[in-house]
Every structure is written in structure tokens, then in C-alpha cells.
Structure 1
Amino acid sequence: MTESEDAQAQAGTAEGQGPVRITEALADALEEKREELFAEFELRDKFPGAVMREAERRVENVQQEIQDEVAIRKDLRDLTAWTTDPADAQDFDDAISVEQREEEYVLWVHIADVSHYVHPDSNMWEEAVERGNTVYLPGYTVHMLPPMLAETVCSLVPNEDRLAHTVEMHLDKENLSFETIDIYKSVINSDERLTYTQCENRLDDEDAPLHEENSLAFELADQLHEQRKEDGSLVLNPRRDRAHTLIEESMLKANKAVTHTLMWDRGVEAMYRVHPQPTPDQWSKALQEIQELDGVSIPGDAWGGDPRKAVNAALEDSPGRSLDKIQRAVLKVMPRAKYMNDPFGGHHALNFDIYGHFTSPIRRLSDLINHWIVHENEVPENLIELCDRASNRQKDAETAERNYKQFMQDHRLDPYAVNNRGVEVVEDPEDADHDL
């Protein structure tokens, strides 16, 4: 899990609180730090004029364009769908729908059809390749795509028709395996935009709108989560709330469905996510470090088996104060995941033989390229170069995020509070919240 994902896992907990108050001096220091990081990691904060002009032209008459697309796409506007994101999310690139039938679940994951607007011959595509991904600094976002595109026609806002790339999965109730997978272009109309906290409330309130839909989605997601653990998937954050589990498992299943389709049904190259495994000695070192933590114990029957299951078992029963230490012990020995043009080696942490990204094309180059490959059945000639580019830019983004958070903490500023609540600059230092 990346640090940005970890931040999102905590999003929503501070909903309803006011912004974090900081002094003018700290605001200036934060701006200076951002500029340093932009220079060090070649992060492009501003979009070139040609890219902005192209984006402006691309959103002209877009509503009529969407209506024209209804005739050639699957019309899912009557299907109940909704988005669930952090409270501070600026774009909504995935929505879900779910039904329960006699012998199956049907799960639809609808992803913003970014590749309809951004294609390899466009300036926006070239700029996305340069950036590689959206960079989430607490309280400040460096977008991969021009915001006027990412936050409007490519955002699955409620009660508006939007173009989507839908992954329709029919799952056997007994073992949750894929009975059928269908990936197609669609038009959807999201019923509601929920935050994670609102989703939790809907799960508890039987009279609330979308209660039944969210409850069914969580019922399915909870089974998928438990199945992953039993199969040996590493779950470094076992205390995620129901809302995050609901979305995470739905997206994992959709990503898995798409990349299995690309490899097994089509046999094509794509941007697969490959995660090598640590050596036995590295795993042994990590497990020993975990075993020596105060209040933490790896059950006897977990030793000698799959080390991922041993870590999961330790996390389940460990005190909360040990969670970060266990995570660090594992991450120290874990090789970095990377993008490759074939899935050889699989994804060790998830224990998936084939995996790739598809559900976040607004913020990740890998997903955008996979959208293009799925729809056009056309593999970019420079795919290997693009895989390396995406891997390197992700590493740069994560390092920049980590350095910026550390800078905040050095100034007694809580990056998670800033990320979730925003900031307000105050003149009087006594009014500041630097000691959060």
C-alpha cells in the first residue's frame, strides 16, 4: 500500500471539523518546500498552454457528444450506481453497481472513460506520459490530467450522464470465481456521491437511501476479503473500515478481471503490475523482527508456512501500537512492484498470478494505457518504455509525498489532518494548530 493510499484510508475521519490553522510563515515554508520537490523530482505543477487549450476544446459541446454516444454504447443509466471516495476527493473515477441473483452476484465497476477524451495523438496524452501519475501532497494536488477534464467530463458526478468503461462480472456464489467477464463502453448516471463516512452511515441506517445496495456490496466485498486472506494475500492494514473494504475489494476484482481477460482471452501485452517476492532469508528476518515486538506473537502453526499468512495472523491479534512496526518490518524486505509488459512472476503481496491497474485512469498512466489497449486492442509500440516511465514516476511521486509529510511533521503539523480538512492561514501564531 502506498502512502497516498494510507492517507486515503484515514480520510473521512475528520469530516465536519474546520480547516487546520497555520501561520503565514509556515504557509510560505510549505510553498518553498513544494517548489524544491517539484524541481528535485521534475514534477510539472503547471500545464503547457497547448495542453490547456486542447483540454478546453475537448470539453466543448460535451453534453451533446455524450447523448450521441448513447446510440453506440450500452445504456446503463437506469442501473443504480454510486461513487465512494475520500471527503476531499476532487474527481470520481469509479462507481459500482451490484445485484444478487439465485446462484450468482453481479458486480459492475464503472470507470471513467478517459481514453475517449485522451488518446495517443493528443497533447494531453503526451503530457500524461511526462507526469506518469497524479501526485497527492497533503493539501496540494499535482494532476496528471488538466483539472478541467479530470474534474468535469471524466468525473462520475451524480445525476449527470457520463461515459464509462464498465467491467461486468458474474461471480459464482459458492467460490466467487468469474463465471463471465464482460468489458464494454457504457453511459451511466451515478445516483449519489458518498464519502467513506457517509457509506459507513448508510450501512448502519436501514432507512437510508442506498442502504440495501451498500449492504449487499459489503457482503460481497467481505467474502472477497476473507477469501484473499485464506489464499495467502498479504493484508497489511487489517483494521480498515467497511467502506474502504467495499471499494478496495471491488476495484481489486475489476483489475484482476481486466488483466486476466487481456492475458488469457486475448494474449496481448499490456501494463501488468508485477511484484517480486522477498528471498526466504529476507522473509525470515522480517518474521523474526515481528516476533520480537512487544505484545506481538506469530501463532505456532503459522511458522514454516506461507510468510504472508504468518504476517496476517500477527496483525490480526497485535495491539494497535504495533501495527506500524509490523508494516515497516515487512516493507523493509519487500521489493518494489513495477509495471511490465507481461505478467511473469505475478503479484506476490496480493498472491495474484496476473494483475494490473484499470480502475484509476484519471490519476495513473498505467490505467489509461490499459483502457486504450482494452478498447482498441492496440498495444503502443513503446510499451516497455512506458512501463519503465510509469514505474519511475510512481517511485518519484511516493518519495516526494513522503518527504513533504516528513517536512510537515518536523514543523508539528499533522499531514493527515491537512489532507482531510485543508488549511487556513492565520495572522496570530497563537491561533495556529501546529501542535496537532
Structure 2
Amino acid sequence: MSDDAQAQADAGTAEGQGPVQISEDLARHLENKREELFEKFEIRDEFPPEVIEEAEARTGDVQSEITAEIDEREDLRHLTTWTIDPVDAQDFDDALSIEKREDGYVLWVHIADVTHYVHPESAMWAEAVERGNTVYLPGYTIHMLPPVLAESVCSLVPNEERFAHTVEMHLDEETLSYESIDIYKSVIESDERLTYSQAEQRLDDPDAPLHEGISLVYDLADRMHEQRKEDGSLVLNPSRDRAHTIIEECMLKANKAVTHELMWNRGVEAMYRVHPQPTPDEWSKALQEIQELDGVSIPGDTWDDPRKAVNATLETAPGRQLDKIQWAVMKVMPRAKYMNDPFGGHHALNFEIYGHFTSPIRRLSDLINHWIVYRNDVPENLVALCDRASDKQKAAEQCEREYKQFLQEVGLDPMAVNNRGIDVVEDEEAERTL
């Protein structure tokens, strides 16, 4: 989940609105367009039979496997644990637990243990390398891993025991810095699956289940968010709600913890996320473009740090100008890429070292980092894998952009399609509920 514009909004059926209705003829046009884009960007939609067979064979009796392995893992079933995902999410690959102690916070981020099922000798691993990532189009998803696996044994569903890869972080009460980082295989049992809107409601209701835990983790996430901004991390969406803030900040903290562990404590290569910075001239051009927008003023004391300048400007700018400010920044931002060396750091986040760990179901980089953490074994072709993941991400983004443009050309709202889904009706002249 979260980072690099990958974070999904809380999509799902909008209240009081059903799916977008389209005719059979238009549905065929959309299908043809998808096939054209898949061929153009070399995106595989269907899984080979051997991959499906392998996935189905690994989704048998999960309880028997857990019973057999529980002594070799940390048993965290006693922790209060929950997931927060979009309302239409089909798999839940991360969960949270938190405690407040005298000396600070203990934050557990539990990630589905995908590498228990998908390893370098498996057909599913080879297929994941081929695909590189899950591709999200409005109303249509092309998965990196077979859904039969991702939506069953790799989904942290409530009230069922699951294998996880846990990042346990002890954080200083004042500075929120890492007092200790421990990464290990675990068994967890989620207490509840929440949507973003449900998490928001729990925050407002002192009598609701999980209210105390969610409130505590939000207080921590809000502090981490403000700290990131003060440190110079670029925040292009200043109005993100509380539930999204929880997930974004906790996943960033876990990702950063894992890659710090790999780099500083183990000294191993991994799939790091490197984001080069724009040149001073490019940043100057972007800030000048922002300063010239009607009703927008960049605070004078922030010009020396463009990221802080953008953050401060977004917080006070008229709503009608937010998209233009964001676009001015995005135009000068180099593309982030995966590399086997963190040199250069992540400019937008202002992290010296950063990588992905929290979404192994949908990103090749996370899957590979899980394997490196687990086995301390770096794939021989790591540089090629980094290039592959970078190229496939770029292809996925371009495919999504062109498909959204096509939807607009045929009179459909991409956001409505994404949030509400599509219903194909027989009447060719069916009214579209956009």
C-alpha cells in the first residue's frame, strides 16, 4: 500500500449510487481498448495454467500448516490487530497493532507472508517477475499474483490465523526515532477488517470497538506526518483524511525500518527505491509557476527548501489551484526507480535510504525484499530485477493514463468507474449514471 502515487483511494460504491451503466456495445469497445493497451505495454492478463495450478495447490489447509509451524514463528495471536483497506479491496495484505509503554510506542506492522508460498523456484515467482506489479485500471485489475492465492492464504482476513512477516518497531516517545527494529516471521489473527470510512467512524465514537487502538495509532501517525513535513518530506496531498494518514505513515515507517536494517545492520544489497532530485533550475521554474497562480503565495521563509515551500503553499492555497500546484511539481520531478544501492536517497520523501516491503502481493520489489530479509540471500540477477520492476511500473502508469483518457473520450468518468464499478445493460441506449 501507499507511496509513489500507488496508494488507492477508498474506492467503492458511493453512497446512494449504483454502478455506472453502459451498453453491451460500449463494453466491447472498452474490452478492445484494454486488449490493445495490454499488447502495447506487454501486460499479461491471463495466468498460465501451471501458475494457477501451483497457486491452487498452495491454498489448501492453512490451519494445518500453521499448527505445524507455530513453534518456529513468533506467536502474535494475542495482539489486538486490525486491517484498514478500501471498501472494494479483495485482499488484505497489511495489518496493525500498537501499544503505548512508559518509554514510548511499540508499533507492529504485519505483512502477509507471501514468500512462504512464492519463492524463486516457483512458477508464481517467475510470473511475478514477468508482470512486475499489479496494474490498476478503472474498473479492471491485472494482478501480479494469482487472485486465488492473494485472496485466500495471503489475505489477513479477520478471525482466521495467518502467516505474516512482522516489522516490530520500538519508537522513542519524544523523537519517534527507532529504539529498536525487529523483523520476523509470525502468526497473527486479525480482529476486524475496517474500510477507511469505518476507521474514521471508530475514531469519532469512544464506545466503538477498537476505538482506543485506532485513536492511539492515529495520534502517532499524525505526529510522524508532521515530523516528516518538518524534516522536508514533500506532501502533495495536505487534506488526506485520518484513516489514510494512519496507513500511509505506518507503512512508510515500516518500509524505512526494513531498508535501514538491510543497509546498516546487514550491509546487503536489496531493491531500494531511489528518487533523484530535480536540478535547482527545474525547482526554480516550478516555484515560479506556482507563485504566478492567482491567489497563491509562497511563504518567503521557505524558498530555500522547495519541498517545504510547496508544502506550506498547498496548505494555504485556494482549492481551485491545488491541482495546478501539484502538476507544476510533478512536471519537474524525475522518475523514481529501483536500484540495488540506495545512493542518492528518496528526494520527495527526504529519506537517505528507502525501499518497499509492505505490498508483496502487488509489487515485485516488496516480494524480493521479503525474500532477502527472510533468507539474507540476494538474487544473482538483482540489478536486472530492479530494472524490470522500474520498467513495468512505468508501463503500468502509462497504460492507466491512456485507459483513463479513453474512458473520457467515450463519455465516462474514470473516477466514477473506479469507485462504483460498471454494470453492462442490454439496452444500447442505456442511461449512464455518471
TM-score, normalised to structure 1, is 0.97
Is contact 1:225-1:249 (8 Å) kept? Answer: yes
Deviation readout 1:135-181 (Å, 9 max, x if unpaired): 01111110000111011000111111000000000000100000010
Q: 1:16 to 1:173 in 2, by over 3 A?
A: farther
Give the structure 2 partner of residue 36 of structure 1.
Answer: 36
Give the structure 1 partner of residue 309 of structure 2.
Answer: 310
In 2, the alpha carbon distance for the partners of 1:240 and 1:12 equals 17
Give the structure 1 partner of residue 97 of structure 2.
Answer: 97
Give the structure 1 partner of residue 212 of structure 2.
Answer: 212
Range moving further from structure 2, 13-22 or 97-106: 13-22
Please list, as runs of the form range in 1=range in 2, the aligned pairs for 1:1-400 lying within 5 A after superposition. 2=4, 4-5=6-7, 8-9=8-9, 11=11, 14-15=14-15, 17-303=17-303, 305-400=304-399
SS at the partner of 2:107? strand
Is contact 1:3-1:398 (8 Å) kept? Answer: no
Q: Offset of 1:47 from its aligned partner? A: 0.6
Opposite residue 309 of structure 1, the aligned amino acid is K
In 1, the alpha carbon distance for the partners of 2:244 and 2:117 equals 29
Q: Offset of 1:423 from its aligned partner? A: 1.1
In 2, the alpha carbon distance for the partners of 1:290 and 1:428 equals 47
Deviation readout 1:11-65 (Å, 9 max, x if unpaired): 3582563211122222111111110111011111001111111111112233211
Is contact 1:10-1:416 (8 Å) kept? Answer: no
In 2, the alpha carbon distance for the partners of 1:394 and 1:125 equals 17
In 1, the alpha carbon distance for the partners of 2:264 and 2:74 equals 24
Q: Offset of 1:71 from its aligned partner? A: 1.5
Is contact 1:15-1:87 (8 Å) kept? Answer: no
In 1, the alpha carbon distance for the partners of 2:268 and 2:325 equals 38
Range moving further from structure 2, 146-155 or 48-57: 48-57
Is contact 2:13-2:421 (8 Å) kept? Answer: no
Q: Offset of 1:433 from its aligned partner? A: 2.2
Unmatched segments (≥5 aa) in structure 1: none
In 1, the alpha carbon distance for the partners of 2:181 and 2:340 equals 22
Deviation readout 1:79-125 (Å, 9 max, x if unpaired): 01111111111111000001111120110000000001000000000
Is contact 1:295-1:318 (8 Å) kept? Answer: yes
Is contact 1:4-1:136 (8 Å) kept? Answer: no
Deviation readout 1:218-273 (Å, 9 max, x if unpaired): 00000000000000000001111000001000000000000000000000000000
SS at the partner of 2:90? coil
SS at the partner of 2:214? helix
Q: 1:16 to 1:90 in 2, by over 3 A?
A: farther
SS at the partner of 1:169? strand
In 2, the alpha carbon distance for the partners of 1:17 and 1:177 equals 44
In 2, the alpha carbon distance for the partners of 1:354 and 1:218 equals 25
Give the structure 1 partner of residue 400 of structure 2.
Answer: 401
